[in-house]
Amino acid sequence: MEQVHLTGLTEAELREFVKSMGEPDYRARQIFGALHRRRLRSLDGMTDLPKELRAALAERAAVSTLTVESRYISEDGTRRYLLKTHDGLPVETVFIPEERRDTVCFSSQSGCPLQCSFCLTAKLGLLRTLTAGEIVEQIVVALNDAYGQGARTPRGTNLVAMGAGEPFLAYDSLMKALRIMAAETGLHIVPNRVTVSTAGIVPRIRELATVPDRPHLAISLAAPTDELRDELMPINRKWPLRELLAACKEFEKSLRPGERFTFEYVLLDNVNDSDEHARQLANLLNRHQLRTKVNLIPHNPGDPLPYRPSPPERVESFRRTLESKGVHAFVRRPRGRDIYAACGQLSARRAAANNPSPALVHQLTR
Ligand code: SF4
């Protein structure tokens, strides 16, 4: 019999599950609280459940399915985890301490089917889409490691789906994981604290706009023209900029007061970082009258493959050009560079070490 992954069940589903075992509703409440509020990763700690029930659960269900394969701590406090699924696939998660609120960056897939040319994860291809339980577990692992098991998070937690994979290709898992994590009786991380970053899956952008309690949206652009974006992000051939920005315009109608959505733009030296590119980008956004901001992401240095990071003065000039045309732009401070904290770097670097190929030594900068 296949084991049920308890961490991936909503409280209502847990109630059904314990009912199928002949147990009353309040057992579901106890288990849900143990998994998400106390962040237990095994049945052993659930001492408020009778021993017989724990034994019966152990036969039919698993609490945790991810194992921590390695953990790295950066000089700047960023923590990075390489986890492994029950079927041996890599999952990467990053914990980023910040002044006002800490952030966990999680993965939605192991590997990724999209072939962004600047991304190391792309070289793995799609290994598998993660389940809701596997998404929730990443956050539990990171919070327990940073604060201690079950300890309150001192500054609250933001989540970003910017790790490996395209979150909108894991839409059902993602939305279910967000529902589980929002529960007041559990982690209580509401969608308003979550940002989902997409490479541009247009139908899902439109769909997300209709979700009442939805997370924030970020879109990885990387290029201001179809010609360049086709090359850097081949998903653009399916949904070109015109369609992508039309969907963004539609999404804009769903924005709450004070909310803005963001475009992420990775800067690659001499590829997409000239003042002309900045002008084209500003014109593109202004043409669609998008009330948005652009996060400029410096490419990680030390990468021997096709792209180099733009020099700081180029980054600044790009930012200023955007601002001069009325587009708000921010340069994102790179975190955890010494531990390869751009998602996709760990597993793909490992793959490269096992199967050395110059094509593998690239990185994700979403
Ligand atoms: S940048 Fe994101 S969407 Fe593109 S290949 Fe990498 S993980 Fe996938």
The predicted-structure confidence for 146-198, as pLDDT tens digits, reads as follows: 999 988 887 789 999 999 999 999 999 999 999 999 999 999 999 999 999 99
Please give the number of the atom of ligand 1 that sits closest to the Cα of 197: 2
Ligand 1 centroid to Cα of residue 51, in Å, is: 45
**pTM of this structure:** 0.92
Q: How confident is the model over 37-71, as pLDDT tens digits?
A: 999 999 999 999 999 999 999 999 999 999 999 99
Ligand 1 centroid to Cα of residue 14, in Å, is: 33
Query: Considering the chain, what is the average pLDDT of its residues?
Result: 90
* Closest among 175, 236, 184, 244 to 210, alpha carbons compared: 175
Ligand 1 centroid to Cα of residue 201, in Å, is: 12
Q: Would you state the pLDDT for residue 362?
A: 24
In this model, does residue 355 exceed pLDDT 50?
A: no
Q: Would you state the pLDDT for residue 113?
A: 97
Tell me how far apart the alpha carbons of residues 124 and 114 are, in angstroms, rounded to a whole number.
Answer: 10
Residue 124 identity (one-letter amino acid): L
Q: Would you state the pLDDT for residue 99?
A: 82
For residue 12, what are its two tokens? 């209502």
In this model, does residue 341 exceed pLDDT 60?
A: no
Which residues surround ligand 1 with Cβ inside 6 Å? Answer: 112, 114, 116, 119, 121-122, 164-166, 199, 344, 364, 366
Q: Is 166 a catalytic residue?
A: no
Q: Is 92 a catalytic residue?
A: yes
pLDDT > 90: percent of the chain: 77
Alpha-carbon distances of 305 from 22, 38, 72, 120, 229, rounded to whole Å: 58, 44, 24, 10, 19
Average pLDDT over residues 355-366: 30
For residue 217, what are its two tokens? 């949206």
Average pLDDT over residues 251-271: 93
Please give the number of the atom of ligand 1 that sits closest to the Cα of 344: 7
Burial 170-189 (b: 16+ CB within 10 A, else e): bbebbbbbbebbbbeebbeb
Q: Would you state the pLDDT for residue 300?
A: 72
Q: Would you state the pLDDT for residue 134?
A: 98
